[in-house]
Structure 1
Amino acid sequence: MTALPSNSDSAVDAAAHPPTHTTIPAQAQARIRQEAIAWYARLCSGDATDADRAAWKRWHESHPEHQRAWQHFDALQSMLQRVPGHLAASTLQASRRSRRRVLRGIGALVGSGAVAGLSWQLAAGMGGVRSWLADYRTGTGERRTVTLADGSELMLNTRTSVDVSMDPTRRLLVLREGEILVQTAHSLAGPGAGAKEGRPFMVHTPQGRILALGTRFTVRSEGGEGGDTVVSVLQDAVEIQPLQDASRSLRLQAGQQASFSRNGMLPAQAADPALVSWVGGNLIVNGWRLEDVVRELARYRPGRLACDPAVAGLRVSGVFPLADTDKALAVITRAFPVRAAGLSRYWLTLVPV
């Protein structure tokens, strides 16, 4: 886990962004950094094979710039090891107010209707009753893996709810909210899978439908009926179709992703490793705005986590373990001119120092 400022004279920045050579174009440097991030995501996914590790070694040794890019991750791991467990907590508690001031703040929230608004979000904005009654669901910060009746594997990310329906004619997942990784029984069994694996495997979201074509893929649905679904394919292919435009469909191959709403979809593009890094327990980002990093980390912790507009545009590259967002925030506050301010760890905003 780490966070790196894009322009800093600190030792952290020096370790994270080693001097570049003018002989390497900026576009090539960006491509190499993206390759390094993709390799890191793969090796941390829990599914890396000996062949993957051998391929990484060949990539690492094939060019000095590859080794230079990989030093970024070595520096990040070294920095993380220097952050004691108590520092993560103390950093976030540094701005903690007295009990009396906290109570006054809570009273102000109640008086302004903020608590009522939060209750409404829990009941409606995060999936409502159907999400609470779903066949499988996860709470904030929880990940869960289940084996379905047909042998397919389903991994649920944080704040996710899924209904499952299996019958002789089809296999259907209804993603009420959140994010899942699906590995169908066909892809697990490989060539020659049994007849029952020939049943279509579909995922429905509030925005549309995904048909799996013997594959491994992720699906993320946000914003209810007015939001978007993002699909990223790791193996084989899928076909996506917006709910209100049945005449249109798009096939995605391995290494591609696409976003769609109820009314339409965007063209396929190269998959972003950050979209699937959660499978290995990490958030891996490359040049993200701090505001976007904070928004993503907020999915994995209870309460409210926000970013002041004054620092929202800071660019972040790094690897953050999702199981310990306190430590992630502690590293951010060490690497950037920001601090965590708020009533408690459950109501925080990153603000300028």
Structure 2
Amino acid sequence: MDNAARSGPDPQVVKQAIAWALRLRNNRANVRLHAQCVRWREAHDDHELAWQRVQALQQELSSQMAAIPGARVALENVSQGVGRRQALKMLSGVILVGSAAWLSRDLTGWQRWTSDLATATGERRSVQLPDGARLQLNTDSAVDLDFNAQQRLITLVRGEILVTCGAPSSAPLLVQTRHGLFEGIDGRFAVRQDSDCTRLSVVSGNVAIHSPHSADGLSTQVHAGESYLVHHTHATLAPPLDMDMGAWVDGLIVTRNMRLAAFLSEVGRYRPGYLGCSAEASDLRLSGVFRLEDTDKLLAIVAQTLPVEVRYRTRWWVSLERSA
């Protein structure tokens, strides 16, 4: 199975499919628009795959619409003829968020089935590898393993891992991501794969970045306490972080004067749906140690620490807004 089949359609293609679904929902009689959507679907296999998944998941979501407060409000406003355009916009937003949540669950579930090791949203997992090394997976992560006499390869399909090197071996311990290839020489290191780059953080020991190479064509040596941002073509020393990159192993998020918007982006990785804050609250700063096993309780503690209120529009849509 190739990588494309393994990981499903690209997230950007998924967003395009959702956008097409919303446009057609709001313009059912537009024959020209329907024809344009058909051409988009036929342009690539991933387009059709994303489209079919969106359609299937929206059908499932439709059966749940009565349970979504935002959808009820929108439908009531439309039926009363009050603010039809605004109500339709709200309804489309609910459908978009709901579809994205269901679709994300579906794609992640597919990767959990096809990857050697994986975790669900909010789950963490620790595994001892055949060579004695310890592999820990953070929330919503997946890896493939290829261990043989020549190499010990961990391919990070998605998410974040922490590797503790085992006993020395003649076969190198390698971690592969979309952006680079890393060799754990000794000690402990974390690898987090985001959409635009991979972050390598060395807790102890040393790690070599083999790909991409440095400007002189040699591997980059990363030492304890250092972090690098690795792109397809280059690797750069990362600025100091406002959070402890390895605290998730203990079920914690540890912050140091962190922006609330950035903090919620991190916490959002451990719960389904949308978690964010208003523009007025985004620059508030937060320091402390927070437990991740119950993110609703965590948010309540944040509201006691900062001048914000937690607003639940639905169980999948939570926003923190600055107190009046």
Q: 1:331 to 1:170 in 2, by over 3 A?
A: same
User: 1:170 & 1:206 partners in 2: Cα distance?
Assistant: 19
Query: What is the match of residue 16 of structure 1?
Result: none
Residue identity matched to 1:329: L
User: 2:153 & 2:68 partners in 1: Cα distance?
Assistant: 52
Matched length = 242
User: 1:106 & 1:237 partners in 2: Cα distance?
Assistant: 56
Aligned residue among 194, 206, 219 for 2:191: 219
Shift in Å, 1:174: 0.2
Query: What is the match of residue 256 of structure 2?
Result: 286
User: 1:172 & 1:139 partners in 2: Cα distance?
Assistant: 22
Aligned residue among 176, 197, 205 for 2:177: 205
Q: 1:181 to 1:122 in 2, by over 3 A?
A: same
Residue identity matched to 1:306: G
Query: What is the match of residue 319 of structure 1?
Result: 289
Offset from partner CA, 1:60-118 (integer Å, 9 cap, x none): xxxxxxxxxxxxxxxxxxxxxxxxxxxxxxxxxxxxxx978454158666645403344
User: 1:131 & 1:243 partners in 2: Cα distance?
Assistant: 28
Aligned residue among 100, 116, 119 for 2:99: 116
Shift in Å, 1:346: 2.2
Offset from partner CA, 1:193-242 (integer Å, 9 cap, x none): 5xxx221000001111111112211111111xxx1111111221001144
Aligned residue among 198, 217, 221 for 1:229: 198
User: 1:271 & 1:217 partners in 2: Cα distance?
Assistant: 15
Q: 1:106 to 1:304 in 2, by over 3 A?
A: farther
The answer as to whether partners of 1:232 and 1:271 remain within 8 angstroms in 2 is no
The aligned runs of 1:235-250 (5 Å cut-off) are 235-243=204-212, 247=217, 249-250=219-220
SS of the residue aligned with 1:142?
coil
Query: What is the match of residue 269 of structure 2?
Result: 299
Q: 1:104 to 1:270 in 2, by over 3 A?
A: closer
Aligned residue among 99, 121, 131 for 1:140: 121
User: 2:99 & 2:296 partners in 1: Cα distance?
Assistant: 26
User: 1:213 & 1:323 partners in 2: Cα distance?
Assistant: 32
Q: 1:184 to 1:337 in 2, by over 3 A?
A: same
SS of the residue aligned with 1:275?
coil
Shift in Å, 1:267: 2.2
Q: 1:266 to 1:216 in 2, by over 3 A?
A: same
TM-score, length-normalised on structure 2?
A: 0.67
TM-score, length-normalised on structure 1?
A: 0.62
Residue identity matched to 2:203: L
Shift in Å, 1:183: 0.8
Q: 1:286 to 1:218 in 2, by over 3 A?
A: same
The answer as to whether partners of 2:242 and 2:257 remain within 8 angstroms in 1 is no
User: 1:106 & 1:183 partners in 2: Cα distance?
Assistant: 51
Is 1:177 the counterpart of 2:158 in the alignment?
Answer: yes
